[in-house]
Amino acid sequence: MVSTFIDYNLITRDMKTSLQRTSEKLLVARETEYYKANIGNVTSIDDFLGDYRLYAYAMKAHGLEDMTYAKAFMRKVMESDLSDDNSYANMLTDERYRNFAMAFSFSQSTEVVQSEAQEDALIGLYNESIANRSEAVRTDSAYFNAAIDHITTADQLWQNDRLKDYALTAFGFDSNYMSYEHFKGIVTSDVSDPASYVNVTAANYKQGFEDKIAQVQAGATPEELADPSSMPSRLIAQYQGAIDNAPDYRPLAAAFNFQDDGTLLAGDLPMSDMQKASTNEAYVFQQPRLSSSAAQLNKIFYEAAIQNVTKIDDILGNSRLFDYIRISYGLPTSLLISTMGNVLSSDLDDPTSYANTQGGTEFGPIYKQLAAAFNFQTDGTLAAGDKAQTASQMAETSAYWIDRYDDADEAFDEALIKSYKTLIGVVADVDDLLSDSKIMSLALTAVGLEEGDTARKLKKVLTSDLTDPNSYVYTLKDERYVELAKVFNFKADGTPGTPMLAQSESEILNTAKSYVVEKSRFGTEEDKTKATAESKYYSAEIGKIETLDGLLSNRRLVDFILVAAGLDPEEISTDHVRQMFESDFNDPNSFINTQPNTTLYKEIVASYNFDSEGDLARPTQGIQTRRGLLETEDLYLNQTLEEEKGEDNAGVRLALYFRRMASGIGSAYDLLADNALLQVIQTTFSIPKEMSSADVDLQYAYINRVLDIEDLHDPEKLEKLMARFTALYDVENNVDITGAELILSGSGRNGISADTLLSLTQLRAGGF
């Protein structure tokens, strides 16, 4: 019989080779190949339990071979919600069952229209889109003002979409409904010439509807014309409305200096500085919400106009001044003109004045503040030499304006986001989503799309397969539609699907739990609290990761992953982690296959859903994740190796088992709960077996006196302990060590020299 010490060292000296040899044995290879070939086809617990070869392989791998018969029990384990501390698997004291359930959790995430991470991402995009609008307006205007000077013909203006769209938007027109001929006719028109294109077009437009009105009037009776509800009267009102709301192309024509042939006179520019300024202002005020640029223009307008105000009616009759003051002082849109007049004409020294008598109302204090900001007399005029506002009063009003001009928009955003969060939770399918205007308004704004797309087009976008480069969304060649599809999860039939995540939900849970265990195993309650908080950060942030680069750029996440795997982040660089992820598992010469921690590295990489390009890939569907498959195969090989070696020498099996389980031992109670682990400790520290009948707390205290549990997580100290165990096991079991074995043992690589080993063999006479 080969000594335990020698046999153990021969195996562990190159564990990868030892496991490889085990994997090549006929029965092991056959069962492993069957498992790998068929586990991916299993989509339910029933299928899994119904295939005895798969089920038995997995049970053996997880050290539960003796429980293979208990299928009903194992079903309850597998059906457990591992995120619930009170679930069946989590309530069992034996961690093997929870680990089994974790290895066989379904790999797909919950089917949902939108995950929390996607919701956060979309709302983040919405807020970013809103915040960027002011900057976009400034950028658009700067580009227009710089580029327009290089245009020499109307055709060049038409061909530059960015310039053309800016000009059309500024004057209220949509480039989608503007033909080349019409555009050129407008910008080459002389508005002072009645015969120019723009004037003739306007005249013809008006005349056409006037003719229609005349035709209706000619064919209608006096009674019909007198009855507003009659068809002739309604047609006349419709035609008159078209005349009253006729598009006015003259401001657009007046903004450019092209001749009627579309060229410029020698030395002329397409626009003067004044024309640019008026176009810029028009563009700013055409935006769907007031930008900071528009706010500044309003401020400039107000501070100039208020100097010329001589009576309250000048303000009440000017909506731009009225709104500027109303918004500056935080008053509602429902504020009446008469109320504003009463406030501005209040004498604050008169307790009976309007502003003073409104003190108990919602806006009473504001009315007093507003009245004090102006200098009108009670009749609405100004005293000789007075201005509506002094410089300091005007500055105060403008300061309020800059602070409050976007309050209404911010309130709208807040209400829209709140509404979105409520409504998205009840969306059943893609048609539900598209029919909700509030949801689509936020979603389209977030990704920079207008609301002009048809529901049919958006449905095809939202049901596109993002993993297929030929799917509809990619044919549009517009990244905005891709972004829209990414924040929702619809299958081809429009029903909710699973989010594409860097990790499936079960893997996120597994990684987060492993991190907390690693950080708190030998720590304080505070360490556990901090670890739990960090796990929440990880769980939230990993759901936002879309590429391997995105993951590796966040070193906080990388450190979390390494700690969860039992690795020291200070010893592993980000580049090292990148090489792990970019390795080919099937290439024996790849980085990951040439590392000492090959199996561990593979399990880390396999727990993430990145393709060879570092982009998100949809995880393989089935009962087991890629990591779970690798873990099960590795455990099966280890169990088989340990069993085979145990047939010749139970001490070797015990040593190999202890070595494998050591990283999960967190306290002496873990040792006391496992007879095999306890036997190793009893042998190593010569603890009498009779002590097992003593009080558990006494045993716990004794083990802690002879062993520092943290040493089990130090590879060098662990191997020294294993060397001591194997040597003493041989002594205890009267295993003879020959001279040849002493030579094979080397020079004490694991902490015990040949001389020491020889001395230990001689201790048998002393009672061992």
DSSP string, 125-184: HHHHHHHHHHHHHHHHHHHHHHHGGG--SHHHHHH-HHHHHHHHHHTT--GGG--HHHHH
Burial class (CB in 10 A: 0-12, 13-18, 19+), 625: buried
- Low pLDDT (below 70) residues in the chain: 1-2, 105-109, 620-621, 735-768
Q: Tell me how far apart the terminal alpha carbons of the chain are, to the nearest angstrom.
A: 19
**Beta partners for residue 615, in sequence order:** 547
Question: Which residues make Cβ contacts (< 8 Å) with residue 476, sequence separation at least 6?
Answer: 461
What is the tens place of the pLDDT at every residue in 606-664? 999 998 899 888 776 678 888 889 999 999 999 999 999 999 899 999 999 999 999 88
Placement of tokens 């199996």 in the chain: 599
HEC string of 710-731 equals HHHHCHHHHHHHHHHHHHHHHH
Quote the pLDDT of residue 106.
52
In contact, 620 and 611? CB cutoff 8 Å: no
In contact, 109 and 499? CB cutoff 8 Å: yes
**Angle at the Cα of 696 from the Cα atoms of 695 and 699, rounded to 5 degrees:** 90
**Beta partners for residue 311, in sequence order:** 381
pTM: 0.66
Placement of tokens 């130090």 in the chain: 714
The packing angle between helices 95-103 and 626-648, to 10°, is 130
Phi, psi at 47, each rounded to 5° = -60, -40
Kindly list the distances between the CA atom of residue 629 and the CA atoms of 68, 619, 636, 671, in Å, as whole numbers in the listed order.
19, 13, 11, 28
- Alpha-carbon distance of 373 to 393, in angstroms, equals 5
HEC string of 564-628 equals HCCCCHHHCCHHHHHHHHCCCCCCCCCHHHHCCCHHHHHHHHHCCCECCCCEECCCCCCCCCHHH
- Alpha-carbon distance of 47 to 572, in angstroms, equals 41
- Alpha-carbon distance of 170 to 141, in angstroms, equals 10
DSSP class of residue 110? P
Is the sign of the CA dihedral 65, 69, 73, 76 positive or negative? positive
- H or E element: which one contains 686? none
Per-chain mean pLDDT for the chain: 90
Total Cβ atoms within 10 A of residue 150: 11
Burial class (CB in 10 A: 0-12, 13-18, 19+), 429: middle
**Angle at the Cα of 251 from the Cα atoms of 305 and 206, rounded to 5 degrees:** 120
Separate counts of helices (H) and strands (E) for the chain: 44, 0
The single-letter code of the amino acid at 758 is: L
Question: Which residues make Cβ contacts (< 8 Å) with residue 101, sequence separation at least 6?
Answer: 77, 78, 80, 82, 89
Helix locations, 358-454, DSSP H: 364-372, 391-404, 407-423, 430-435, 437-447
Question: Which residues make Cβ contacts (< 8 Å) with residue 197, sequence separation at least 6?
Answer: 185, 186, 188, 189, 260
